[in-house]
Structure 1
């Protein structure tokens, strides 16, 4: 996992920070479901996906800069693989957050209603 983080480059850091925020908000929602946390859940998850996508795109841009000077033009495949680490981290973190959010939603639906 550390190797994947290193290969992903600088884009892994904002993806990790925003992803941990999304997971923390999701865990908070799972423990005590409250509708006021829903906008935070949605926005932090979208921000995580956006950061992962930005890391992916900037990684491809960096790889594209070296294609012309590389002796083997398949270097873009290596860059593509390294850049996909950003997307993978984003999907892992958002997926973990969605599991916690689903638990919170189930708890909210099954909670006794007060009159």
Structure 2
């Protein structure tokens, strides 16, 4: 995992920060499902995905700049390695967003069960 983080470059840092903030917010929502957490979860999920995409795009731009430089005789395999390393940002963003969504689903389930109990009590 540390090797993947290093290979991903600087884009891994904002992706990690946004991802951890997302997961912490989702954990809070899972503990206490309140509507005030929903906009924050959505925006942090979007920021996490965007940070991963930005890291990927920056990596691809860097690879292409070095690959197509004047007099470059770099083999095509170096281009593939650059794409591989840049994709670590996207992978981290997807992992963090998926974990956040799973944790948030626990809160949504608790909210739905609580609403069902309240509605049954109102009927009785």
- Quickly name the TM-score band, shorter chain normalised: over 0.9
Instruction: Determine the structure 2 residue equivalent to 1:14.
Output: 14
Q: Deviations over 1:1-58 (max 9, x none)?
A: 0000000000000000000000000000001000110000000000000000000000
Q: Deviations over 1:62-100 (max 9, x none)?
A: 000111324313321111000000000001111110011
1:70, 1:9 → 2: CA distance? 24
Instruction: Say what the alpha-carbon RMSD is for the aligned residues.
Output: 1.3
1:100, 1:94 → 2: CA distance? 10
Structure 1, unaligned runs of 5 or more: none
2:57, 2:19 → 1: CA distance? 18
Query: Could you list the runs of 4 or more consecutive aligned residues of structure 1 that deviate by over 2 angstroms after TM superposition?
Result: 112-115
**1:79 paired residue among 68, 74, 82:** 82
Does structure 1 residue 40 correspond to structure 2 residue 43?
A: no
Whose Rg is larger?
2
1:4, 1:18 → 2: CA distance? 18
Instruction: Determine the structure 1 residue equivalent to 2:30.
Output: 30
Q: What's the TM-score once normalised by structure 2's chain length?
A: 0.88
Structure 2, unaligned runs of 5 or more: none
> How many aligned positions are there?
115
1:36, 1:65 → 2: CA distance? 44
